[in-house]
């Protein structure tokens, strides 16, 4: 790494780079050759038709199904804020709730002619406040996925629900007396109704058991709280109250439940307001780079053990009553640099008693969670920045629960097993041998959306109704409950989870709505129909969140962790995949093609290694290694992740699916193959290079930036000294041409890089809104992805401890657009409202516009990517956006269809379009509200005010393209004592 | 008084008969047959390529974002450049009374017509929706749609159209007297009819000759500025863009020189076998090859100079993007492309300083071939090195060609060869009447 | 349609001889003369009394019209019929209008020239009485031929033949029409 540091030392501090290749590579000549010589695969022009069809979802979709489906028969209630009785052309909005990953988020589903086409956040929902994340956006595609199972299967043969009812009745009779031998396995229970059904189940079958298993568990957090409070509690953080945040590998901006809300609250405290301007400060200690770490003011890569040690030292520093027998002083293990950080951090926390927050991540051991709780208490943060509450739904340790089940299955104690919407055959820890033990169970029933690995090994597979097709209720991260109402009648012959459980409870014809309704009789004040309707309309049940838990802690000696970690071995860390989560979204083309925030990989996972490790093993991106852990091994391609702790290997879960559907199978590797129930998150391993190599589909360019600074950044201190320090010395260049008369409006966008957390939700929201097709791994490899707004990511500083910046890049809608000048047929021209419009019908595809676009935001249909045949794909599309054919250029339109709709409404009411009336898809979804859109001609609009900020700048201003999209420079707020670190 | 007269008739026969013989008497021969079959195969490859292209889309090539132009455009620029030499030899040298060019201009013009036709395919095929290429032309339509006059692509569309038509006309008019000759010497009825129709009844009457010569003169005077403008337009296809490496005023003259360079190379590549296998050594002489070689060297040096000044101005201008692009061209992923260009277009031609090399046909042929290849490398290098690293590092990307890219390149070469082989067999490959004129003049010149 | 001969054809063995013959015949008062040569002979057309050559003029006019027309068309399309904002450039971007105009000027001049030449030469004409004469085929190879047309007022086979032989014709014969 020495020459690296040397290399970087030469460059001034503001030198950005994008990825490590050039910094790490061996002699350049070789590097060039490796790049320039095409892989044999690249020579093959023809796209594998079969997989392509798979991607398109054009697999044998039951023709016309989507067409003949409409609004559900039961009474559902449109969202309150839309006028009633709109013409069918107008979209209708319904408030409902989705469980996404292990998060619960309230959404508004837009339906055209009764077809849900787009999901937006429900402003009234505490976990959303109107925003969502990428996975939520993609849920709409899941609904229309033609691979969804469409009828009950018995031994893989299509059966009828009546047959199954007979089966269920038999089961009910068989276990009538005590129910021993009857088991149910579900995911974590977030639904009061399901909890109630569980209660009923246990009363009816006293000997039976109901297990909960969530591959992405929160066991450590539960044990941590259990240790401190005597019982497992849930935690709700108040980031909008926290001035100093210490994250112990807690990825609260991306993967923790409530992350959408967290991002909003975090961004609020992030904007440099007040005199003098202030910002919150985020410290992150983590093993590998997370989105939260990427946004940190101080990010310290550490090995698992180091984090624990550091936390103990920190706890001692801020006066947490010593939790250990006073052995050697705890800070002993820390080197000078760490001690320096320790002091600064401790001081900072002390200075912000009551306005600071310490939180730990799922992969951290219970002790760390406990210490975090104790520190918050010591800092009097409890009740201010953090609260604890008791979950009304029963919580149990995922792994323990599954282990008990697996063991009793092994010992033949399980006769009948119902698996509710879980896929343990794929997700269970490898040491539980779930698959083979499942074979010992006589009667197995699987309920799920897809015919997945587990379904294939069960007697029965029952298709579950999608959340957008069924009734339910869900409790979100802060404890408040919201209702789930169907926005479309089931596309196929399916039943909702509650209805199926009802079968188990002996009822033969269950009505989902009635089940949910009955749960809320006598509670939540929903007895009267009006209140119920109100709850449905609002999307949330008011004050349904449990009160904060009265805190009483008694100091106890911390259980000494048995930390895995033989000397000389590598730490092994498992992670949920940022897009396909634990694998459940594997068949979702949008999520597969979304560049994963940290790695920018698509369509696959990879073993993450740090730069130092890669250098040590002479590994390049895509080289295949063998990973050995506890006697098991797997092969995986590597990806170099800057800022990952040395001697740490990260394996993202969720890939290597064997039965996921046309899109999701045979991608990546299955990291569950190394995951054990003993320590599901953290293990040790050793690696060896195989000498083989694969091309991974990434949207990232592997080069150090040599030219310009597309992204401007600085520190809060600089900003205080001179607010305009990011402005270019020389302003915009002069123009030879006279200004052209503008129209009534002049649309423009401002993107605040200080708020942007780089979550890529905008990319997916845009894809959903604008009917952007997926192109598949091979086309992405070629650089043919179609995303209209991409999120560029830049590194700064050393490869081991980089600062990370994100920059969303939509079309700039240049006033003097280079693309327009060179189009020979005028297929891209300027309209009177400052939009750079693309005329698809006129485009003949010379592609000069793309060549001439300095921002490279134009996308081209090199082949016929859009699926124009399969009915479900058609049904999902936004009817207001035309579908582009082969040979046509496309790009961001500032959601012109939404602008036009606003025009129509305003014209009908004889008024101007109000500020904030036009909201682009990317703006709507953004959890951090980093994107502002509006009329720049009017100085009073929000976007004009943003652009008036001293941090405002235009990308590549010197080219005199006069972009209508501008940026607000990014600020960091390092601790004064640690300035030199960044 | 009568002595020279007899020699005049003899002289006239001497320049007429061997040329007509190729068309009328000589059998095709095995070499020709082999070449012909090879060309047909390659042309078929091109044909199937075009079919697949129309069915699947330009995605069958390696192009992507950011490198949205690849082989197709390189091929286009390469071919149209090759075309230039023909026009230059027949027009510019005609205007400057270089009568030695009389034995070269015919097949050089043919080369021009064929090269331009082949090159014309690519701008159309490279379109995302080729069947709409006519939208570049202004024509009346209900929606009042017009082409976008400010785009250099449109200028180029007009340039190619004009160039193709003018060079065809120029070629054909120049052929008329010789077609008449072939007509009059043809024995079989079929040939008499065929050439009779083509000759349009040309009789060589004195007043006809007069108008003919005026036309040739003015056409030549038009063709020269035309050909220069055409290659400037081709250059503007790039330099109208703002990309580093494209956005430079140097491009038009640079492209003109490059075009001449590749053109002369191809004239040599075609001429050397032509004179050898068709016994035209008395018409296309050593002197001709030597003159061509000198010309090749001369324009080659101009091209080399523009390479130099390109690099110089990048640094002299001090634009950081230009500098980065240049450094990257010299040392980046495509450095091999740049340096092979230098090897072919700068190093190899220096051998032409030596008379012995110019006199050695094998060497001359090889060097010319090297230059032709080098010029393709240059075209491709200019396109890809500017595109693959634009202004935003986030969207840098490599270009990897597919087999179809290669298929179209070699297929187009096949088509060109096919056309030229047909030309050699069907039309007089040397301008007889012009040779007759110079022969006569030579005789009348008082000794 | 006259059943008489087309004229009397004579061959000469050099360009100067041909020119001298033409001059001689004209002094003898013959006016309907045609000369056929395998290559253009300087001054021959003048000697035969050529009329004005309009080829160049036609080219000039056509070129000028095409160029001006192209400019007008572009201006109409871009500034009058459908003005639209392209890259913030003015509607009438004259510099950008020039290239197409130049190309069209040259194209139409060239085409006009060819048409003019062919028309003035009465081409295409696929049959001509002279094609029946074996002697005539030499005109496209190595023979310099002079024809006195039968419709010449002073045409009289014997006299013409006599005159031609006096003027060093190497061969004289009559061509039927």
pLDDT tens sequence across B124-139: 999 999 999 999 999 9
- pLDDT at res. C124: 87
CA distances to A148, A974, A975, A977 from A980, rounded to whole Å, are 54, 9, 9, 8
The residue among A625, A614, A659 whose CA lies nearest residue A452 is A659
CA angle A231, A236, A240 (to 5 degrees): 155
| Number of residues that make up chain B | 447
Helix B432-444 with C15-27: angle, nearest 10 deg: 80
For an interface test with A, give the residue of B57, B144, B393, B398 to mutate (most A CBs within 10 A): B393
Cβ atoms within 10 Å of B343's Cβ, excluding its own: 13
Instruction: Give yes or no for residue C1 having a pLDDT over 80.
Output: no
CA distances to A398, A402, A464, A668, B219 from A424, rounded to whole Å, are 12, 9, 17, 19, 83
Q: Of A83-97, A316-330, A357-371, A682-696, which gets the smallest average pLDDT?
A: A316-330
Summarize the confidence of residues A438-465 as an average pLDDT. Answer: 94
The helix or strand, by DSSP H or E, that contains position A55, with its residue range, turns out to be helix A49-56
Residue A565's pLDDT band, with cuts at 50, 70 and 90, is: low
Q: Look at A790 and B394 and tell me if their CB atoms are within 8 Å.
A: yes
Query: What is this model's ipTM?
Result: 0.92
List of chain B residues whose C-beta atoms are within 8 Å of the C-beta of residue A809: 392, 394
Residue A6's pLDDT band, with cuts at 50, 70 and 90, is: very low
Q: Two tokens at C115?
A: 């048409």
Q: Look at B9 and C142 and tell me if their CB atoms are within 8 Å.
A: yes
Instruction: Give yes or no for residue A566 having a pLDDT over 90.
Output: no
Residue for token pair 């000589």 = B26
Query: Which segments of B26-137 does DSSP mark as H helices, in order?
Result: 30-56, 71-87, 93-95, 105-125
- pLDDT at res. A463: 95
- pLDDT at res. A80: 44
Strand ranges, E, within A547-631: 570-575, 607-609, 623-629
- pLDDT at res. A86: 46
Summarize the confidence of residues A917-937 as an average pLDDT. Answer: 94
The residue among A479, A12, A433 whose CA lies nearest residue A236 is A479
Cβ atoms within 10 Å of B340's Cβ, excluding its own: 15
Contact B345, B265 (CB under 8 A): no
Q: Look at C89 and A815 and tell me if their CB atoms are within 8 Å.
A: no
For an interface test with B, give the residue of C51, C90, C93, C121 to mutate (most B CBs within 10 A): C121
List of chain A residues whose C-beta atoms are within 8 Å of the C-beta of residue C85: 740, 829-832
- pLDDT at res. A82: 45
**Interchain CB contacts (distance < 8 Å): A and C:** 32
Q: Look at B206 and C37 and tell me if their CB atoms are within 8 Å.
A: yes
- pLDDT at res. A324: 58
Contact A62, A47 (CB under 8 A): no
The residue among A764, A728, A753 whose CA lies nearest residue A966 is A753
pLDDT tens sequence across A931-970: 999 999 999 999 999 999 999 999 988 888 999 999 999 9
Q: How far is it, in rounded angstroms, from Cα A966 to Cα A947?
A: 7
- pLDDT at res. A88: 52
Contact A897, A880 (CB under 8 A): yes
Summarize the confidence of residues A634-646 as an average pLDDT. Answer: 92
Average pLDDT, chain A: 86
Is residue A100 classed as helix, strand or coil in its secondary structure? strand
Cβ under 8 Å to A: B residues 64-93? 64-69
The residue among A589, A809, A591, A820 whose CA lies nearest residue A701 is A809
Instruction: Give yes or no for residue A580 having a pLDDT over 90.
Output: yes
CA distances to A46, A175, A964, B420, C14 from A182, rounded to whole Å, are 52, 7, 64, 85, 121
Kindly state the DSSP code that residue A240 receives in the 8-state scheme: G
CA distances to A861, B210, C39, C173 from C24, rounded to whole Å, are 78, 21, 22, 18
Q: Which of A738, A817, A819 sits opposite C90 (nearest CB)?
A: A738
Summarize the confidence of residues A450-477 as an average pLDDT. Answer: 94
Find the residue in B nearest to C63 (Cα). Answer: B222
- pLDDT at res. C12: 87
The percentage of residues in chain A with a pLDDT greater than 90, rounded to a whole number, is 61
Q: How far is it, in rounded angstroms, from Cα C162 to Cα B181?
A: 30
Instruction: Give yes or no for residue A76 having a pLDDT over 80.
Output: no
Summarize the confidence of residues A252-281 as an average pLDDT. Answer: 92
Phi, psi angle pair for A154, to nearest 5°? -120, 115
What percent helix, strand, coil does chain A show, rounded to 5?
Answer: 30, 20, 50
Cβ atoms within 10 Å of A948's Cβ, excluding its own: 10
What percent helix, strand, coil does chain B show, rounded to 5?
Answer: 80, 0, 20
The 3-state secondary structure of A755-810 reads CCCCCCHHHHHHHHHCCCCCCCHHHHHHCCCCCCCEEEEEEEECCCCEEEEEEEEC
Contact A437, A410 (CB under 8 A): yes
The residue among A668, A657, A658 whose CA lies nearest residue A606 is A668
- pLDDT at res. B164: 94
Contact A260, A105 (CB under 8 A): yes
Q: Which of B61, B148, B395 sits opposite A856 (nearest CB)?
A: B395
Q: How far is it, in rounded angstroms, from Cα A67 to Cα A377?
A: 57
Residue A808's pLDDT band, with cuts at 50, 70 and 90, is: very high
Find the residue in C nearest to A834 (Cα). Answer: C85
A303 Cα distance to chain centroid: 25
- pLDDT at res. A884: 93
* Better pLDDT: B75 or A330: B75
Give the DSSP letter string of B90-114: IIIHHHTT-GGGGGTHHHHHHHHHH
Contact A33, A53 (CB under 8 A): no
CA angle A736, A742, A746 (to 5 degrees): 110
Peptide bond into C124 cis (omega under 30): yes
List of chain C residues whose C-beta atoms are within 8 Å of the C-beta of residue A962: 88
The 3-state secondary structure of C10-60 reads EEECCHHHHHHHHHHHHHCCCCCEEEECCCCCCCHHHHHCCCCCCHHHHHH
Q: Look at A18 and B403 and tell me if their CB atoms are within 8 Å.
A: no
Cβ under 8 Å to A: B residues 147-166? 147-148, 150-154, 157
The residue among A904, A961, A895 whose CA lies nearest residue A933 is A895
Q: Which of B132, B152, B400 sits opposite A42 (nearest CB)?
A: B400
Is residue A678 classed as helix, strand or coil in its secondary structure? coil
The residue among A715, A711, A904 whose CA lies nearest residue A808 is A711
Give the residue ranges of chain B where pLDDT is below 70: 1-6, 445-447
Q: How far is it, in rounded angstroms, from Cα A629 to Cα B349?
A: 63
- pLDDT at res. A258: 93
List of chain C residues whose C-beta atoms are within 8 Å of the C-beta of residue A737: 88-90
Q: Look at C99 and B207 and tell me if their CB atoms are within 8 Å.
A: no
Q: Is the dihedral of CA A944, A949, A955, A957 positive or negative?
A: positive
Contact A886, A864 (CB under 8 A): yes
Phi, psi angle pair for A935, to nearest 5°? -90, 110
Specify which of A355-359, A532-536, A735-739 reaches the highest per-range mean pLDDT.
A355-359
Q: Two tokens at C80?
A: 């009058």
């Amino acid at each position: 790494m020495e020459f690296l540091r040397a290399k970087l030392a030469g460059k001034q501090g503001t030198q950005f780079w994008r990825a490590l290749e050039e910094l790490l590579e061996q002699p350049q000549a070789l590097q060039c050759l490796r790049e320039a010589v095409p892989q044999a695969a690249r020579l093959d022009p023809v796209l594998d038709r079969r997989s392509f069809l798979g991607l398109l979802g054009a697999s044998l979709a039951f023709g016309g199904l989507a067409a003949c489906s409409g609004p559900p028969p039961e009474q559902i209630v449109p969202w309150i804020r839309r006028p009633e009785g709109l013409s069918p052309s107008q979209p209708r909005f319904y408030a409902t709730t989705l469980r996404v990953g292990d998060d619960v988020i309230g959404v508004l589903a837009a339906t055209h002619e009764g077809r849900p086409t787009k999901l937006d956040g429900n402003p009234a929902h505490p976990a959303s406040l109107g925003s969502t994340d990428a996975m939520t956006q993609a849920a709409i595609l899941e609904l229309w996925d033609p691979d969804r199972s469409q009828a009950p299967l018995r031994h893989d043969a299509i059966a009828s629900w009546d047959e199954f009812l007979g089966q269920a009745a038999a089961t009910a009779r068989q276990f009538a007396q005590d129910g021993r031998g009857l088991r149910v396995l579900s995911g974590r229970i977030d639904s009061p109704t399901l909890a109630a059904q569980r209660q009923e189940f246990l009363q009816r079958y006293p000997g039976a058991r109901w297990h909960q298993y969530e591959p992405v568990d929160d066991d450590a957090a539960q044990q941590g709280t259990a240790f401190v409070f005597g019982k497992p509690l849930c935690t709700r953080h108040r980031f909008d109250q926290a001035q100093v945040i210490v994250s112990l590998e807690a990825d609260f901006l991306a993967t923790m439940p409530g992350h959408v809300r967290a991002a909003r609250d975090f961004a609020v405290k992030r904007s440099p307001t007040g005199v003098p301007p202030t910002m919150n400060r985020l410290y992150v200690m983590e093993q590998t780079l997370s989105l939260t770490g990427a946004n940190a003011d101080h990010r310290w890569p550490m090995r698992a053990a180091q984090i624990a040690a550091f936390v103990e030292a920190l706890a001692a520093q801020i006066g947490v009553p010593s939790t250990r027998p006073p052995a050697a002083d705890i800070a002993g293990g820390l080197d000078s640099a760490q001690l320096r950080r320790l002091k600064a951090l401790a001081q900072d926390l002390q200075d912000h008693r009551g306005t600071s927050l310490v939180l730990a991540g799922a992969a951290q051991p219970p002790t760390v969670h406990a210490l975090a709780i104790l520190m918050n208490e010591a800092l009097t943060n409890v009740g201010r920045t953090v609260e604890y509450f008791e979950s009304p739904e029963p919580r149990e340790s995922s792994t323990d629960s599954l282990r008990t089940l697996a063991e009793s299955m092994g010992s033949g104690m399980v006769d009948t097993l119902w698996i509710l919407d879980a896929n343990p055959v794929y997700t269970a820890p490898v040491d539980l041998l779930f698959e083979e033990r499942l074979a010992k169970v006589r009667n197995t029933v699987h309920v799920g959306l897809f015919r997945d690995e587990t379904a294939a090994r069960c007697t029965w597979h029952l298709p579950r109704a999608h959340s957008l097709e069924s009734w339910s209720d869900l409790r979100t991260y802060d404890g408040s409950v919201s209702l789930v109402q169907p926005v479309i009648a089931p596309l196929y012959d399916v039943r909702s989870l509650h209805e199926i459980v009802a079968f188990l409870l002996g009822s033969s014809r269950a009505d989902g709505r009635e089940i949910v309704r009955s749960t809320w009789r006598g509670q939540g004040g929903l007895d009267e129909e009006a209140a119920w309707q109100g709850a449905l309309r609002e999307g949330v049940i008011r004050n349904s969140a449990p009160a904060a838990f009265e805190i009483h802690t008694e100091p106890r000696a911390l259980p000494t962790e048995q930390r895995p970690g033989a000397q000389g071995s590598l730490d092994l860390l498992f992670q949920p995949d940022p897009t396909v989560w634990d694998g459940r979204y594997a068949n979702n083309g949008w999520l597969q093609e979304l560049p994963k925030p940290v790695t920018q990989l698509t369509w696959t996972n990879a073993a993450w290694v740090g730069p130092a490790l890669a250098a040590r093993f002479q590994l390049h991106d895509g080289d295949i290694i063998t990973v050995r852990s506890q006697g098991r091994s797997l092969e995986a391609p590597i990806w170099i992740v800057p800022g990952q702790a040395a001697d740490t290997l990260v394996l993202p879960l969720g890939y290597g699916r064997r039965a996921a559907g046309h899109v999701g199978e045979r991608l990546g590797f299955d990291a569950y193959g190394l995951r054990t129930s003993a320590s599901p998150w953290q293990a040790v391993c050793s690696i060896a290079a195989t000498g083989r190599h694969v091309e991974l589909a990434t949207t990232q360019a592997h080069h150090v930036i040599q030219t310009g600074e597309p992204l401007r950044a600085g520190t809060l201190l600089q900003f205080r000294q001179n607010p305009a320090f990011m402005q270019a010395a020389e302003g915009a260049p002069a123009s030879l041409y006279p200004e052209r008369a503008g129209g009534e409006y002049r649309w423009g966008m401002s993107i605040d890089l200080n708020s942007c957390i780089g979550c890529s939700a905008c990319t997916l929201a845009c894809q959903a809104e604008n009917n952007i097709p997926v192109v598949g791994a091979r086309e992405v490899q070629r650089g043919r992805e179609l995303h209209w707004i991409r999120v560029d990511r830049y590194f700064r500083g050393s490869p081991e401890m980089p600062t990370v910046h994100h920059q969303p890049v939509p079309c700039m809608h240049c006033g003097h657009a280079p693309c327009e000048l060179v189009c020979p047929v005028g297929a891209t021209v300027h309209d009177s409202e400052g939009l750079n419009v693309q005329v698809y019908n006129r485009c003949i595809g010379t592609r000069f516009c793309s060549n001439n676009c300095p921002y490279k935001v134009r996308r081209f249909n090199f082949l016929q990517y859009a699926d124009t045949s399969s009915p479900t794909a058609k049904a999902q599309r936004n009817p207001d956006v035309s579908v582009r054919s082969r040979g046509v250029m496309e790009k961001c339109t500032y959601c012109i269809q939404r602008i036009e709709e606003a025009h129509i409404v305003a014209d009908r009411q004889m008024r101007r379009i109000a500020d904030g009336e036009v909201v682009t898809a990317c703006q709507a979804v953004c959890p951090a509200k980093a994107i502002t859109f509006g009329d720049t001609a009017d100085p009073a609009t929000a976007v004009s005010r943003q652009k008036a900020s001293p941090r405002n700048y235009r990308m590549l201003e010197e080219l005199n393209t006069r972009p209508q999209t501008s940026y607000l420079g990014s600020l960091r707020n390092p601790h004064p004592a640690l300035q030199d670190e960044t | 008084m009568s002595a020279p007269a007899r020699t005049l008739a003899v002289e006239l026969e001497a320049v007429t008969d061997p040329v007509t013989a190729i068309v009328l008497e000589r059998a095709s021969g095995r070499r020709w047959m082999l070449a012909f079959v090879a060309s047909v195969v390659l042309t078929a490859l091109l044909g199937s390529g075009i079919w697949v292209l129309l069915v699947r889309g330009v995605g069958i090539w390696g192009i992507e974002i950011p490198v949205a132009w690849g082989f197709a455009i390189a091929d286009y620029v390469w071919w149209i450049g090759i075309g230039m030499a023909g026009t230059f030899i027949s027009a510019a040298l005609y205007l400057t009374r270089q009568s030695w060019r009389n034995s070269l201009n015919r097949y050089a013009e043919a080369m021009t017509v064929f090269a331009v036709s082949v090159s014309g395919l690519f701008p159309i095929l490279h379109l995302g929706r080729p069947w709409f290429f006519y939208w570049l032309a202004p024509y009346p339509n209900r929606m009042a749609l017009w082409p976008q006059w400010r785009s250099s692509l449109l200028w180029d569309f007009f340039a190619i159209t004009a160039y193709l038509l003018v060079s065809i006309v120029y070629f054909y008019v120049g052929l008329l007297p010789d077609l008449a000759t072939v007509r009059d010497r043809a024995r079989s009825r079929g040939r008499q009819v065929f050439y009779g129709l083509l000759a349009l009844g040309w009789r060589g009457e004195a007043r006809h000759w007069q108008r003919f010569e005026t036309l040739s003169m003015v056409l030549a005077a038009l063709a020269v500025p035309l050909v220069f403008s055409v290659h400037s337009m081709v250059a503007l296809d790039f330099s109208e863009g703002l990309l580093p490496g494209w956005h430079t005023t140097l491009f038009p003259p640079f492209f003109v020189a490059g075009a001449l360079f590749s053109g002369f190379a191809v004239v040599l590549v075609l001429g050397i076998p032509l004179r050898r296998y068709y016994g035209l050594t008395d018409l296309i002489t050593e002197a001709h090859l030597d003159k061509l070689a000198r010309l090749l060297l001369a324009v080659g040096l101009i091209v080399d100079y523009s390479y130099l000044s390109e690099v110089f101005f990048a640094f002299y201008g001090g634009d950081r993007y230009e500098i980065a692009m240049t450094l990257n061209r010299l040392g980046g992923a495509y450095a091999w492309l740049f340096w092979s260009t230098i090897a072919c277009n700068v190093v190899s031609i220096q051998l032409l300083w030596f008379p012995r090399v110019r006199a050695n046909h094998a060497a001359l042929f090889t060097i010319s071939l090297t230059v032709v290849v080098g010029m393709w490398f240059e075209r491709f290098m200019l396109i890809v090195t500017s595109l693959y690293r634009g202004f935003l590092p986030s969207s840098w990307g490599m270009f990897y060609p597919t087999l179809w890219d290669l298929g179209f390149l070699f297929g187009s070469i096949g088509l060109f060869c096919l056309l030229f082989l047909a030309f050699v067999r069907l039309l007089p490959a040397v301008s007889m009447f012009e040779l007759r004129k110079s022969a006569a003049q030579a005789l009348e010149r008082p000794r | 349609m006259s059943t008489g001969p087309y004229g009397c054809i004579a061959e000469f063995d050099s360009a100067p001889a041909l020119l001298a013959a033409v001059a001689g015949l004209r002094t003898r008062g013959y006016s309907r003369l045609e000369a056929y040569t395998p290559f253009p002979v300087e001054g021959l057309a003048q000697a035969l009394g050529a009329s004005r050559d309009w080829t160049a003029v036609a080219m000039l006019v056509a070129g000028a019209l095409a160029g001006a027309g192209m400019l007008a068309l572009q201006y109409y399309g871009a500034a009058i019929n459908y003005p639209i904002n392209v890259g913030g450039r003015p509607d009438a971007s004259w510099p950008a209008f020039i290239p197409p105009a130049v190309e069209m000027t040259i194209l139409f001049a060239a085409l006009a020239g060819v048409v003019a030449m062919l028309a003035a030469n009465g081409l295409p004409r696929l049959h001509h009485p002279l094609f029946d004469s074996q002697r005539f085929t030499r005109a496209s190879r190595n023979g310099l031929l002079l024809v006195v047309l039968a419709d010449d007022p002073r045409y009289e086979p014997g006299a013409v033949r006599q005159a031609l032989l006096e003027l060093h014709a190497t061969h004289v014969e009559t061509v039927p029409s």
